[in-house]
Amino acid sequence: MSSLYPLFHKLENRRVTVVGAGSVALRRIRRLLEAGARVTVISPEALEEITELDERGGLDWKRRPYRRGDIEKADLVLTATGDLKLSENVKEEARELGILFNSAEDKGLCDFHVPGLVDAGALKLALSSDGQDPALVAAVSRQLESWLETREGSDAANAEAPPRKNQPAASPGKVYLVGAGPGDPGLLTVKAARLLESADLVCHDRLVSEQVLGLIPESAEKIYVGKEVGCGREIDPVELMISAASEGRSVVRLKGGDPVLFGRGAEEMIALAGAGIDYEIVPGVSALCSVAISAGIPVTHREVASEVVIRSGHAMKDDSTDEGPAKTAARGTTFVYFMAVNRLEQVVEDLRAEGVGEKTPVAIVENGTLPGERIICSELSEIVREAAAADIRPPALILVGEVVRLREQLAAALAARV
């Protein structure tokens, strides 16, 4: 049995101190301001929305680290910095002063929990699982919101629209790394469009077009997490995704093109797995072919072009300026071969001629994305023998390069969760 005592706290004109000014703190601050609280934020740096609220007089931002004595006049204190030691220090002072305390870093430090909220005007429903099952709280909240929307809908349009709960929905407590395609909303996949319809939070980058962003419903929170060239990033998208999913929210990380083709999807995928967050990759239409053919240029042609080697314009770590085909593999090239399983021996010989080493990892994916999908991984020196032993048949995709090792890294991250 839970020891929580449910109550609604009147905060109008009451002093609330929030230590931290990142994405998690911002969500807390929005709700506190809606309740009429007088909010003081303590943090050396802050998100743009918090700085704007400070400039407009909506809150008081102290541009410095927390110091003992900062919460003496507060009626309520919350921390959201990701720094557990700092949270423990603030908790100790709050306990001495008899102030109720909440920590986003450790639910065990909390005197109270910030509940899931279903807001229907005068009717407000707060839900809590004592921090044990935030995904369940989010799912119940969504069902209640859907029921209230259906009940209140009186016009013909709402009456004809299917209830949201009957639509394929994003799962609470899960992150979807979604490809937004090259820009034309018509090139967004059906699955991506459905996930946008039911997401709680959409994190998008600079390359997502305004037309695609226009498909996000007003019910979803939308946060820009992109990074302009030469500028620091204000929001850490991985931190934001982990935090939101941990609270039971369904999160769509919307990326231009395809999320794992020069889109940092691999790094984010491994970070989510290591943090124990459920995730799914939703491929998008890559600019590799779509933009080229939009300009009337096919990237392959049976008579003039039978190979595509994809490279990024960004320099890699330890990138070399050495020239010549023998340095190709050292520069981080990924080779992708279509329809080449039946000539695998020749592919291997060609790669050797380009200077690709015998220890270079190779993966072959048979029937990719289908129920009968099979994957074998080996080194260049052994792949022909192992493919024959596994009786790999077309259709299959061959991938050659260091990116194949990321599969092992991901498996290790998942195994560490068990």
Catalytically active residues are 205, 227
Beta carbons within 8 Å of 37's beta carbon, 6+ residues apart:
11, 12, 13, 14, 15, 16, 76
CB atoms within 10 A of CB 261: 18
Q: How far apart are the first and last CA of the chain?
A: 27
Q: How far is residue 176's CA from residue 281's CA, in Å, rounded to a whole number?
A: 6
In 10 A of CB 87, how many CB atoms? 25
Residues 41-63 as b or e (16 or more Cβ within 10 Å = b) = bbbeebbebbbebbeeeebebbe
CA distance 174 to 156: 34
Tokens for 213, please give them: 């962003």
Task: Provide the pairing of β-strand 60-62 with 76-79.
Answer: unpaired
Residue ranges in 186-316 assigned as alpha helix (H): 190-198, 210-213, 237-246, 265-274, 287-294
The dihedral sign for the CA sequence 315, 320, 326, 329: negative
